[in-house]
């Protein structure tokens, strides 16, 4: 008897959910949001980086400076697109990054510490 009652209660609860008529909370959500297919959805913003020659202020001690430009350069076994520009010159990597004049292996994965910072996100 007790079992039957709780089963009925469960069925009532379930049917209560269904009769609500609204979309299930965790149902599929369109990436277009409420925009109908016929209309044009706004284009996702393109990252805007600080103008050339700028450094973004470091805000805590020991913080790796953020990258004030796009960071779409390959970093793999054959190639590290960051080193060519940052081996020397005005924006030379910090001395800590070098070991005997060569880039220290510990610092090879630049983006493990440095992240690009766009102005519009």
Binder among 8, 9, 48, 91 for ligand HEC (CB under 6 A) = 91
Contact call for residue 85 and ligand HEC (CB under 6 A): yes
On whether the CB atoms of residues 117 and 56 are closer than 8 A, the answer is yes
Nearer of residues 30 and 55 to ligand HEC, judged by Cβ = 55
How many whole angstroms separate alpha carbon 104 and alpha carbon 80? 13
| Cα–Cα dist 94/63, whole Å | 12
Q: Which residues bind ligand HEC (CB under 6 A)?
A: 52-55, 62, 64-65, 67-69, 71, 73, 80-86, 91, 93-94, 96-97, 103, 107-114
């Amino acid at each position: 008897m007790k079992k039957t009652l709780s089963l009925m209660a469960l069925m009532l609860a379930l049917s209560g959910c269904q009769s609500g008529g609204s979309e299930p909370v965790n149902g599929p959500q369109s990436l277009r949001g409420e925009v109908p297919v016929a209309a044009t959805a706004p284009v996702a913003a393109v990252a805007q980086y600080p103008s050339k020659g700028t450094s973004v202020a470091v805000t805590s001690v020991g913080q790796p400076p953020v990258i004030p430009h796009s960071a779409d350069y390959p970093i793999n076994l054959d190639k590290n697109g960051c080193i060519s520009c940052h081996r020397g010159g005005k924006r030379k990597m910090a001395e800590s990054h070098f070991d005997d004049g060569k880039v220290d292996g510990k610092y090879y994965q630049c983006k493990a510490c440095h992240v690009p910072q766009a102005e519009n996100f």
